Amino acid sequence: MNPSSNLVLVGPMGAGKSTIGRRLAEHYGLAFHDLDHEIEERTGATVRLIFELEGEAGFRRRETQVLRELLDGGGRLVATGGGSVLAAENREVLARRGFVVFLAATVPQQLKRLERDKKRPLLAGSDRRARLEALAAEREPLYREVADLVVPGEDLSVANAARRIADALDGVWSRPATESAA
């Protein structure tokens, strides 16, 4: 059992990390932080523009730095970006500083939910299905490696999904009372 005061959601694009994360943060009285949003605020540029100007490598460097900063604090719920498990140093920080929930989603679910998306640079090409399948093959083992709890992708409302996850968390997450929300 991992006694971290931070909850972290990992999982692929379109899994609902941000929407469900917001609900879960409310439920547990945690400060909600969306990693991509924090990167954009600090940089003053969208994720898409950062990819354009600095490439994926530049984005990943910023992602590592902001993830580390966010998890330095306690009492937080951090919704990560789908690729934040790629770097070993990120996985190490996630495992050490957060109780990690892997929010899974199938490729058909992702395709449906991201149908109109224009913000995600990794989906800019033509064959989204193949792209998402390749990303899943590469990343799924990494999500599982860091996860303290795995939640299967289901077609539920945000409220119901959050309730289901909270029920599961209540059985496994021992949240220390020492660190307060920041």
CA dist 88 and 146 (Å) reads: 10
**Nearer Cβ to ligand S3P, position 35 or 175?**
35
Q: Is the dihedral of CA 88, 90, 96, 98 positive or negative?
A: negative
Selected binder of ligand S3P within 20, 24, 30, 47 (CB under 6 A): 47
Site string for ligand S3P, 2-21 (x = CB under 6 A): -----------x---x----
What is the gyration radius of the CA atoms in the chain, in angstroms?
A: 16
CB of 88 to ligand S3P, least distance (A): 16
Smallest gap from Cβ 156 to ligand S3P, in A, equals 19
| Rounded Cα gap, residues 64 and 43, in angstroms | 14
Name the nearest CA neighbour of 119 among 93, 153, 82.
82
Is-contact 35 79, C-beta < 8 A? Answer: yes
Q: Is 36 near ligand S3P (CB under 6 A)?
A: yes
Pull the structure tokens for residue 119: 């913000």
When binding is defined by CB under 6 A, the residue of 16, 74, 75, 83 that contacts ligand S3P is 83
Q: How far is the CB of 135 from ligand S3P (least distance, A)?
A: 6
Q: Is 89 exposed, middle or buried (0-12, 13-18, 19+ CB in 10 A)?
A: exposed
Binds ligand S3P (CB under 6 A): choice among 21, 74, 75, 81 = 81
Backbone angles phi, psi at 28, to 5 degrees: -95, 0
The contact pattern for ligand S3P, residues 110-129, with x = CB under 6 A and - = no contact, is ----------xxx-------
Residues of this chain that bind ligand S3P (CB under 6 A): 13, 17, 36, 47, 81-83, 120-122
